[in-house]
A and B are shown apart, each in its own frame.
Chain A
Amino acid sequence: MIDVQHLTKKYPGGVTAVQDVSFSVAPGEVVGFLGPNGAGKSTTMRILAGYLSPTGGEVKVNGMDVTRNSLEVRERIGYLPETCPLYPDMRVREYLRYRADLKGLSRRHRSAGIERAMEQCGLVDVQKRLIGQLSKGYRQRVGIADSLVHNPDLLILDEPTIGLDPNQIMQVRKLIQDLSSSHTLLISSHILSEIEASCSRVIVMNRGQILESATIEELSKKWSPGSAIVVEVKADHADVDAALRVLPDLKRIKVVQEGEWARAELGFKSDDDQRENVFSCIQEQEWSLRELHAKHHSLEEAFVSMTTEATDA
């Protein structure tokens, strides 16, 4: 669906926004673009959407070059810019109709497209309201409905949940999940949980370059290796520390007292499941046990160690 080879974008004045970036997205994939602000995500997306031209390299969508076949590519893409700009003086339905006309939908497809997009984005109730009077969450949905109205193969959403409140974020996430079954999606965010919630694969960018392209599991494994276990037993924390410290393969241990109970967090060097070893150790001491679970690494941890490493390097 998307094929980017050695993409470079330099702005006048010597700023290189994107440097020698290559990646591809298969049809049906939901890919997250992750990176701190200024990493080059928006620039890459703007090039894909045909708003900017690359300085070097090749960018193809559906096998068509985004510079040479710009119009054809734009017909097949639904793009939502970061700021979700809309005309405040238009009504929701009127705006979608205007956008559908611009995207060249025939009269017959137009009303079907508008109905479908409004249905998917939950806009049916507000279709006659002025966009300028809508809340930010609704406006974001209008922006997404606009990107959907011509039923494109590929959706490019730049920071679709930025500036929304937690309820609205959940709604937009749900919407993205619904869309992922029928569209190829490229979503950018600098918020990790966002990507974790919606995407099957992550492309991590920093300072105009791709640091990593992997599934979420691969990524968190790679960048925060070793398993971790949390255990709570009825004992003194010093005893617990002493008893568990002898476990093989242990990397770090932290024990805190919470009333009668001691809570220990254990980190191991390898990825092997250590829960059985921990349990037998506790059994030997004949302590009561109220919690024992393996902790999964979040992408947040992976991201932090990745970007700090890149900055340190």
Chain B
Amino acid sequence: MLEEHVGKLVTSMGAFFPGERAVFRGQDLHKSLQDMGWQELYLFGFTGRRFTSQQMKVFNALWNYTSYPDTRLWNNRVAALAGAARSTGTLGIAAAMGISEAQIYGWGAALRASEFLIRAKNLVDEGLNLKELVRTELKEKRGIAGYGRPLVSIDERITPLLKLVREQGLDSGPHLKLSLEVEKILLAGRWRMRMNHAAISAALAADFGLSSQEYYYFSIPAFLAGMPPCYKDAVEKPEGFLFPLPSWMLSYEGIPYRSWNANR
């Protein structure tokens, strides 16, 4: 079976013809796609579809509103540590991008939020009670991705995002409505969990026609814009100045001193 694929790839994604042209999803990149915005091209790459200008404004906001150049954040801190250690910008930011695929935030949580909302919407359409579904989800998974937040309960990205969505006339999508209903249920119950950015952006993406996997691909660069400033800040300061750790900041909680020889 592998023999058939030796040395050759059959694909519809694209190719470049050196010195001549490049094809991107069946389009000439330098002709038919030459005026496309980068984010639109990025979306086109994995969906093969284009989106309305209103939808693109919201997609743009989903990335902008979560681009925080705060070096304390774990992924950004990796980019900045690379700068402080005089590693390259590419290595620091690539590592920070990898770190962004976390479980309590980032793309692990984003994918779970999307999967839940799309599944919940389908089940509610089939007649299932949303409150029951939320209760079952909490019981089985001890939480609902997209609701609650590691550091604080209120997510500052929600209000401006909802305002923009209303302005663009995109606030009536079924997944967005459902995501807000879930928040109401969670706030009314003993769980006291608010919606976070993962849920609202997953809901909007679903309303714009993205599957969970497509939403995952869309999310990958969402923190990117916040990373170069963190790297730049660190690399322009004297080496090693970022959050230096003195020995006394290590709180040892392990086995006391012992002898290797005695052990052997």
Partners in one complex: no
**Which residues of A approach B to under 8 Å, CB–CB?**
none
